[in-house]
Each structure stands twice: as structure tokens, then as C-alpha cells.
Amino acid sequence: MVEETAQQIADREMMLRVGRGDQTAFSALYDRLSGPLYSLALKMLGNASDAQDALQEVFLQIWSRARTYDPEKSSVFSWTVLLTRSRAIDRLRARDRRLRVVVGSTADEARTAEATNASTVESAADTANKNDEAAHLRSLLNNLPSEQRQAIDLAFFGHLTHHEIAAQLGQPLGTVKARIRRGLLRLREQFRT
């Protein structure tokens, strides 16, 4: 059994209340998760309007499916991240194009700068904390061997299939699978320490 952090326990409690139709808990959950989920949607979709529509779909889905959330399978955060990724992929498919994103690329910075106008102003402390956390995670990701980082980026943000990743990287399928798995497990390990 995987040990939960205090934040994960708090999230789980909140999700339980959302499942009972508690709008106050839903509002609090939105405040906690909307930033990272929006950032993810924005990174994958590349424009603020699409990212907002995707986020709306995700939160309506959270509201209607809160009772089906299974804490044995994942934390609330990871569950909602994967929901968001899934909604963003649906939109990418609908556009019939794929977005290839490289973490920390200048293109990403440019897109997020464009979205700044639509964003609300966070408190300086919040921004600093989030930036610290994101910077820390980016550094963890950057600490991975470059071939693992590249495979994870393409699989997670670019939503390429493992076959497509193998073709793009010119590597055997088995190698690509192993890189994704090793990279994810190593990232998880580093994040815990």
C-alpha cells in the first residue's frame, strides 16, 4: 500500500465531500487544482481559450464523477491531471494535429506569456511557492538522462504513441518503453526525497 502525504489525505477528504454534492468543497478543490491543471492544458493545447474550455470540462467531470474516484488507484491530484490530459488529447485529436512540446522550450514560454493577459493575479507568495515547486520539478526532470526525459516529454505532453516515439527517436520499441518506465519511476523516486 502506498503511503499518502498530508496534502493527499486533505485532497481525498475534499473529494469525498464533493461526491456528496458539497459546493464549498468543490470551490476549495478548484482553488487548489485549477492552477496546475490549467498550466497543463495550456502547455498541451497552446492557447488560453482552448485550455479554459478543457478545464471547464474537467471540473464538470470532477463534479459529476467525484463519487467514482478511487483513492486506491491514484491521488486526487494525479487523477485530475490524467483527466485533464485526456480532455486535452481529445481536443488535439479534434484539431487533427499533434503538438510536440519540449519542456522549457522557448515556444512554451511564448505561449504562456500570451496567456498571461487572461490570467488573474496571484499573490506574490503563491506565485513564488508555485514557481519554486515547478522549478524544483523541472530540475528533477532535467536530472533524468536526456533520453528518458525526451521519451517522457513526447509521451506525456506530445501524446505520441510508443510506436511513434520509437520512430521519431529512431529507437527500438522495447527501448522506448523501458525509457518511459525508468524515467517515470526515477522521477517519482526523486520527487519523494
Partner 1 sequence: MISEEQQDQAALYVLGLLETHEVAAFESELKANAELRDIARELREAAGCVALTASSRTPPASLKQRIMRQIAITTEEPVLVSPQRAPFGWVPWAIAAGLAVFCGLLALDRVRLERQLADIRAVDPLMQTTFFTLAPSAPAPADAKATVAWQTGRQSGVIRITNLPAPQPGKDYQLWAVDAEHKDPISAGIVRVDKNGVAQVRFKPVEKAEHVKAFAISLEREGGVPKKEGPILLVGSA
Among residue numbers 119 through 178, which ones bind partner 1 (CB under 8 A)? 119-122, 127, 130-131, 133-134, 137-138, 140-141, 152, 155-157, 161-162, 174, 177-178
CA separation for the pair 124, 30 (Å, rounded): 20
Q: Is residue 188 part of the contact set for partner 1 (CB under 8 A)?
A: yes
From residue 170, how far is each of 72, 141, 163 by CA, in Å? 37, 22, 10
| Interface with partner 1 (CB under 8 A), residue from 17, 28, 39, 171 | 39
Q: How many CB atoms lie within 10 A of CB 56?
A: 11
Q: Is residue 7 part of the contact set for partner 1 (CB under 8 A)?
A: no
Nearest distance in Å: CB 13, partner 1: 18
Of 141, 129, 132, nearest to 190 by C-alpha is 141
Nearest distance in Å: CB 36, partner 1: 6
The terminus-to-terminus CA distance of the chain in angstroms comes to 18
Count of residues binding partner 1 (CB under 8 A)?
A: 82
- CB of 12 or CB of 177, closer to partner 1: 177
Instruction: Please compute Rg for the chain using Cα positions.
Output: 17
112-127 burial: b if 16+ Cβ within 10 Å, else e: beebeeeeeeeeeeee
| Interface with partner 1 (CB under 8 A), residue from 14, 15, 25, 81 | 81
Q: Is residue 59 part of the contact set for partner 1 (CB under 8 A)?
A: yes
Given a contact cutoff of 8 angstroms between Cβ atoms, the answer to whether 146 and 87 are in contact is no
| Interface with partner 1 (CB under 8 A), residue from 10, 17, 74, 168 | 74
Q: Is residue 116 part of the contact set for partner 1 (CB under 8 A)?
A: yes
Q: Is residue 30 part of the contact set for partner 1 (CB under 8 A)?
A: yes
